[in-house]
Amino acid sequence: MTLAPDPVESVAPRDPALYGRRRLLGPGFWAVIAFGIVCVAIGAALARFGPTWFSGPKEPPASQPSAASAPPPAPAGSVPPLYGAPSVAAVPPPASEDVAQLEGRVAVLETGQQRALDAAGAALAAATLADAARTARPFAEELASLERVLPLSPDLRALARLARDGAPTRAGLAAEFETLTGRAAVAARDPGRNADFLARLRHALSSIVSIRQVGSTQGATPDAVLARAQKLLNEGDIEGALTALEGLPAPAQTVLAPWRAAAERRVEIDRHIAAIRAEALAGLVQVTRAQGEAAPPHAPSNAPPVSVTP
């Protein structure tokens, strides 16, 4: 009788870890997956940027305009217009003729302003000279200042010799004349060397005690002439007083000769000063009027109208 072989005895593993389930996804599997992803990324990059990396410069087609006719690039710092902002039409540069006209106008205005400043300076110097000459002191410095800004004229030449000494004021001349009227009245009554004894005696006594009519200005007597002259001097009319004193006798004229020279000096100074001031003011008015006529009321605009479109 044949006995069946004994089944193979199963030996239990001694390591408990061997009872676990074997892992199918090991490190090699994940390395293959990562390599595949890298390959896919490289392929996508080549498909996207490959034509620009490896292709040569593209020749422009014949139908397109050349680079010379292309519009110039925008200047640095220019900002493109925003969406919806109004567009302003470009202003063409002014023509050369317009620039020349503008330069000519600017030159004319500058010249006119300089002339106006010179005329104003001359008028101011003339006023300063008039104030100085109105006093009794010399005014050579003020005259020299005026000669620097005003052209030399006959009036300036005449004042050159008068400015060194000046002349008494009109009020001073009136006060001095009042002290001389008594002596002038006595000299006007001088009978002369051929007069009799009584006439010369009366004249000698009148030189000690002078009696004259100061209130009467009518008539041709020496007292009336002196009274009229004093009244005119008190009013500031030296010219009228000098004219009135021409009717006095020669002895009275001799007494008043120094005073008359000073009065004539004052009249001459005032006459030249008035002429110089009138000349300076006329120059200022002329320059101001010419400048006003040269300047247009509204400056012309050569720029074309600007169109604004939304």
Q: Kindly state whether residue 140 falls inside one of the protein's structural domains.
A: yes
Q: Kindly state whether residue 73 falls inside one of the protein's structural domains.
A: no
Phi, psi of 292 (to 5 degrees): -70, -35
Helices and strands in the chain: count of H runs, count of E runs: 10, 2
Q: Kindly state whether residue 218 falls inside one of the protein's structural domains.
A: yes
Q: Kindly state whether residue 226 falls inside one of the protein's structural domains.
A: yes
Q: Return the pLDDT at 271.
A: 95
Question: What gap in Å lies between CA 295 and CA 108, rounded to an integer?
Answer: 9
Least confident of 40-44, 109-113, 115-119, 288-292: 109-113
Q: Return the pLDDT at 40.
A: 76
Q: Kindly state whether residue 173 falls inside one of the protein's structural domains.
A: yes
Q: Which amino acid makes up residue 280? A: A
- Mean local confidence (pLDDT), 13-25: 57
Q: Return the pLDDT at 267.
A: 96
Q: Examine the pLDDT at 258 and tell me if it is beyond 80.
A: yes
Residue 1, CA distances (Å) to 4, 5, 6 in order: 10, 13, 15
The continuous run of DSSP H or E covering 87 comes out as: strand 87-88
Q: How many structural domains is the chain composed of? A: 1
Nearest alpha-carbon partner for 122 in 291, 283, 269, 286:
283
Q: For residue 197, what are the domain limits?
A: 99-294
- Mean local confidence (pLDDT), 115-136: 85
Question: What gap in Å lies between CA 38 and CA 46, rounded to an integer?
Answer: 12
Within a 10 A sphere around the Cβ of 237, how many other Cβ atoms? Answer: 16
User: 269 or 214: whose pLDDT is higher?
Assistant: 269
Q: Kindly state whether residue 174 falls inside one of the protein's structural domains.
A: yes
Question: What gap in Å lies between CA 280 and CA 287, rounded to an integer?
Answer: 11
Q: Kindly state whether residue 77 falls inside one of the protein's structural domains.
A: no
Q: Kindly state whether residue 29 falls inside one of the protein's structural domains.
A: no
Reported pTM:
0.55
